[in-house]
Structure 1
């Protein structure tokens, strides 16, 4: 078990969350049209988000962050996810996976260098997935070889589907430091690589089904020279372990985002059902419409209860691999069911781009894929269950 994290003072956090809720409704939601049309978070809003400290939520206070614990962080993500997904996406890698890796695996020197920088708003990306390997780390092709001219490393390879890569300032890159796959993924190490390092480049942002304003692209590494202190933790063979620990936070973030966006979609459906008339009365009066509303609210409530449980476990220092995976699976699948019902409640209008329901449906689909597909996480949950059973008999 790790050391419990008390987080921000409860009263101060409640005030911050109230302020954030107003900001989401009064500033972010009205700007969604611009985000969609421009396919980017407007520069003035991005600056505001940095000034609010959103890029350093989980960074310790002594390094310029807010020092939130995971329970508080998940509530912030859920609140932000009520608006367009791009708002959450642009800061979530910083405060979720990148910061988690620095916290769990970084040396004191790496923490002292990078925590203040990401808290100030430098944008991070997380380079694990490749064209030929996602969940299968044994197939990873990106290589890191010792620099023959110094104590550093030379990185070569390509990463794929990397969120924030087109505008990131720094990347955490997973690379093989051994040619052959070793037990427990000890052939994979992690490197902190500024994106302006010679040899680093990105492809054009990929065109996606949804989530306008949130950008992903390939990251290409062509003889990228990094110093020895770029190796996370100063030790080879630990990269995959740090990545997996970071992904627990990433999965909690996706689960929280799924719950927040499902709530937004349901609120939209309730409003529409009360306004839309059929047979001389609001369709909200029809029992089968009410059934879809009730099922959606019930499932969102269940996801929120799971979120409260898993984040409390993390903050107590418990091993939450199974719980984080289960929360992400349930919440992301739940969000998919909710937005599908919302389209159904809207009826024909739900298929038209001029109504929000169509966008909700497209945006929500990715939640069941990234940070571990539903199917990969089900395997992970089952393997952990069977391992626990074997240890108990």
Structure 2
């Protein structure tokens, strides 16, 4: 099985360029990583999509191959055993991973994304040393435990509490998390909890590293979902779970809210790119179907109304691809890490929903049949408008951010 780990010699010889800012992976190495990922997706996973869907699980051999390729840690820095891809490279990977069942990406998505990046960006040296190598190898599955009843896209509504026990100095965490990705297989939960009411000093939200086998952690049954079979979610109950100060991310209580917002913003770019990959697959399936399926002896792709649908799909895919690449660039340069990610997530997840709908329409009755790829895609991509912040939340972030920026400019003149 091929490893995607860049070779030390190629890293020593290849200078950094503008496209590899914040990354130790050179252009040639990344091209090889991307090509290997593309081949894995299309030759090993695509042919088994129905098996994954019908069995509601990713087969062990596919998981093992993904781990051997380094996919569980492609966005984890190389010093901790990952491939060290930056966000610009991440979106290229996501567009390839989005081409097949989203259960594949979900299997290692939290390790590279919203859970792993909290540790990468905000963990102490000790916390990174304890967890990141296992996360990068896939030996540790990390889950991002933020969402709970009454607190979804807005972490400010958290009800899960962490109270300091003065007797022994431990933190006691109590609460219930909902729809937590990979919870049934998780080894580590990145848990967001309120340590005090919000005040002038901050929102009072901290992040804790909670091992899945800690006393008081209970994972519920797998959720029965509309789509994304094989991507498991479940409730997580924390009933008086005790952890020490070494479990407090960054060693500070008020890091939590900033960690959540930063991790979610980065994750939104990834989800936008994933949407582009899924939209490209829906388009490819539709073009192939239209070119070969006949109506009255004529390929339906020769009908102008079908061509119009394909044209709209193509426009959406191309616009989304350009947007995620530009948004990743803005993240790397630090020019925009708030409005642009939300804009990309909003546009691309809404776009893929429209493309998937058109794909079913192009297929006609066949598109409504189980085991036809566009039927699965139609159901799977609906979730993309919900997690990492709903489309409505993205609109508030973008619109509110634009107004505040204008007000700041007006106040400075």
> Which interval holds the TM-score relative to the shorter structure?
over 0.9
Give the SS at the match of 1:157. Answer: strand
Q: 1:289 to 1:372 in 2, by over 3 A?
A: same
Alignment partner of 2:102 out of 72, 85, 92: 85
How many angstroms apart in 1 are the aligned matches of 2:286 and 2:201?
47
Find the counterpart in structure 2 of residue 191 from structure 1.
208
Instruction: State whether residues 172 and 242 of structure 2, in contact with CA within 8 Å, keep that contact through their aligned partners in structure 1.
Output: yes
How many angstroms apart in 2 are the aligned matches of 1:115 and 1:252?
22
Find the counterpart in structure 2 of residue 175 from structure 1.
193
1:147, CA displacement in angstroms? 2.4
Give the SS at the match of 2:152. Answer: coil
**Deviations 1:7-60, CA, capped at 9 Å, x for gaps:** 411101101111111111110111212211210111111111111111111111
Give the SS at the match of 2:115. Answer: helix
Q: 1:196 to 1:248 in 2, by over 3 A?
A: same
How many angstroms apart in 2 are the aligned matches of 1:329 and 1:142?
28
Alignment partner of 2:146 out of 119, 128, 134: 128
Instruction: State whether residues 4 and 317 of structure 1, in contact with CA within 8 Å, keep that contact through their aligned partners in structure 2.
Output: no
Structure 1 range deviating more: 345-354 or 202-211: 345-354
Find the counterpart in structure 2 of residue 246 from structure 1.
263
> Does 1:355 find its partner at 2:372?
yes
How many angstroms apart in 2 are the aligned matches of 1:115 and 1:31?
30
1:105, CA displacement in angstroms? 1.2
Q: Which has the higher contact order (CA 8 A, sep 6+)?
A: 1
1:319, CA displacement in angstroms? 3.3
How many angstroms apart in 1 are the aligned matches of 2:154 and 2:333?
30
| 1:1-393 → structure 2 map (5 Å cutoff) | 4-121=21-138, 122-178=140-196, 180-183=197-200, 186-393=203-410
1:279, CA displacement in angstroms? 2.2
Shift >6 Å, 4+ stretches: none
TM-score normalised by structure 2 residue count: 0.92
Give the SS at the match of 1:370. Answer: coil
Instruction: State whether residues 191 and 230 of structure 1, in contact with CA within 8 Å, keep that contact through their aligned partners in structure 2.
Output: yes
Give the SS at the match of 2:47. Answer: coil
Give the SS at the match of 1:172. Answer: strand
Give the SS at the match of 1:336. Answer: helix
How many angstroms apart in 1 are the aligned matches of 2:202 and 2:100?
38
What stretches of structure 2 of length at least 5 have no aligned partner? 1-19
Give the SS at the match of 2:150. Answer: coil
TM-score normalised by structure 1 residue count: 0.96
Q: 1:183 to 1:332 in 2, by over 3 A?
A: farther
How many angstroms apart in 2 are the aligned matches of 1:324 and 1:68?
18
Instruction: State whether residues 189 and 232 of structure 1, in contact with CA within 8 Å, keep that contact through their aligned partners in structure 2.
Output: yes
Q: 1:184 to 1:355 in 2, by over 3 A?
A: farther
Give the CA RMSD over aligned residues: 1.4
Number of equivalences: 390
Give the SS at the match of 1:29. Answer: helix
Instruction: State whether residues 189 and 240 of structure 1, in contact with CA within 8 Å, keep that contact through their aligned partners in structure 2.
Output: yes
Instruction: State whether residues 24 and 78 of structure 2, in contact with CA within 8 Å, keep that contact through their aligned partners in structure 1.
Output: no
Instruction: State whether residues 327 and 341 of structure 2, in contact with CA within 8 Å, keep that contact through their aligned partners in structure 1.
Output: yes
Give the SS at the match of 1:126. Answer: strand
Instruction: State whether residues 186 and 238 of structure 1, in contact with CA within 8 Å, keep that contact through their aligned partners in structure 2.
Output: no
Q: 1:367 to 1:374 in 2, by over 3 A?
A: same
How many angstroms apart in 2 are the aligned matches of 1:29 and 1:183?
52
